[in-house]
Amino acid sequence: MTESTKSATLTIDGTSYDLPIYSPTAGPDVLDIRKLYGQADVFTYDPGFTSTASCDSTITFIDGEKGELLHRGYPIDQLASKSHYLEVCFLLLYGYLPTASELEEFETTITRHTMIHEQMHYFFRGFRRDAHPMATMVGVVGAMSAFYHDSTDIADERQREIATHRLIAKMPTIAAMAYKYSVGQPFIYPRNDLSYAANFLNMCFAVPAEEYHVDPIIARAMDRIFTLHADHEQNASTSTVRLASSSGANPFACIAAGIACLWGPAHGGANQACLEMLKQIGTPDRIPEFIARAKDKNDPFRLMGFGHRVYKNFDPRATVMKQSADEVLDLLGVENNPILQVAKELEKQALEDPYFADKKLFPNVDFYSGIILEAIGFPTSMFTPIFAVSRTVGWVSQWKEMIADPQNKIGRPRQLYLGETQRDYVDIENR
């Protein structure tokens, strides 16, 4: 961390305290309150940590007002348009865009790590067939520490590197196996001749009885979904990974914790909620009814997939995702899919409605990614597992950064206690 060049004075009951202020390379200044409790015997109160910086980081920066998302300084729309997922993985992990030889070596390393230990297959068979794929992923990823003992020592830089490669490489295999198990089909092993996205699609949709061809347009759309969800600063699941890792837990346990947090409908389930809304609408002729309900303050119905908590004007990821959605729908058509017909018409009517324009309720990345995944053939139960595959590189990048940070200490949030003060125990016969 750079030296503080500014300070603020806080006065409590007539006593003043000088607090350092740090200026980031982008974003608002940060007030350092680390010594406040020791000096003044007070805590700060910030539910959800929405105004608190829990760490310093060099990985991702978001400016919600400007609609800006940067990975190591590179705009996400440029990366999604000109790059591909594994190159973005390299960028997030190491801080710079690789040379051709570095990228080839990295891709080869990831490709050679895609198979999982054969005995891990038994874990899948221990789950009920109707188990949610996310439940399966939490269990299997957490269990990786029982199989890969040579990459659990977080004090060993080489072991951290191996764990990073394994997690990025094996997550698509685990997600695909969770899907195959849920539909009663045999597992499909990874193929080293396919790209990262194409390999995932092949493991999900191929069957031993016939050859499966991965269309390049579908593979490109899948790669963009991975790229656009790779990292998103200090969100709930990333903060969970950092908090879990602050205790010294092994990397597989930490990533399993991140998957569990991502499972929440307020976080990783947004595109699933969007598709469920489209199913609720049912047919294009009912769209005006639901748009009217969305405008009614007394109606609890809300348009899912529109607007964003962080981005106040537009989602920088949505433009690229819309392009992929249009390409996929042109390829596959929407004539025989009522949900996609509703999605296309809802997008059109909402963008033309002044109410949504004034309130900046634009289609976001979840709206378009849900459309793409539905068109490809994924059930909504697989949307969040696919998000987990995408976000793994962000989690491990943040994990690696935290482990190497000399300021790293175990997380210990404080509280505003509003319960009873000390009282004496009363024997049961006297209550």
Give, in order, the Cα–Cα distances in Å from 348 to each of 67, 233, 353. 22, 31, 9
State how far the alpha carbon of 215 is from the alpha carbons of 113, 221, 328, 377, in Å.
24, 10, 10, 13
- Measured between alpha carbons, how far is 136 from 45 in angstroms, rounded to an integer? 36
Residue 59: name the closest of 77, 73, 78 by CA.
73
How many residues are given for the chain? Answer: 431
Give me the catalytic one of 308, 330, 353, 405: 308
Would you list the DSSP string of 324-380? HHHHHHHHH-STT-HHHHHHHHHHHHHHH-HHHHHTT--B-HHHHHHHHHHHHT--G
Name the one residue in this structure whose structure tokens are 């009517």: 349
Active-site residue, 132 included:
no
Q: Are 418 and 45 in contact (CB under 8 A)?
A: no
Triad 389, 390, 394: Cα angle to 5°? 110
Q: Is 366 a catalytic residue?
A: yes
Long-range contacts (CB closer than 8 Å, 24 or more residues apart) made by 85-89:
85/196, 85/197, 85/223, 85/226, 85/227, 85/230, 85/390, 86/110, 86/196, 88/227, 88/230, 88/393, 89/168, 89/230, 89/393
Residue tagged active-site, from 223, 231, 315, 366:
366
SS3 state of residue 260: helix
Between CA 134 and CA 3 the distance in angstroms is 43
Q: Which residues are the active-site residues?
A: 308, 366
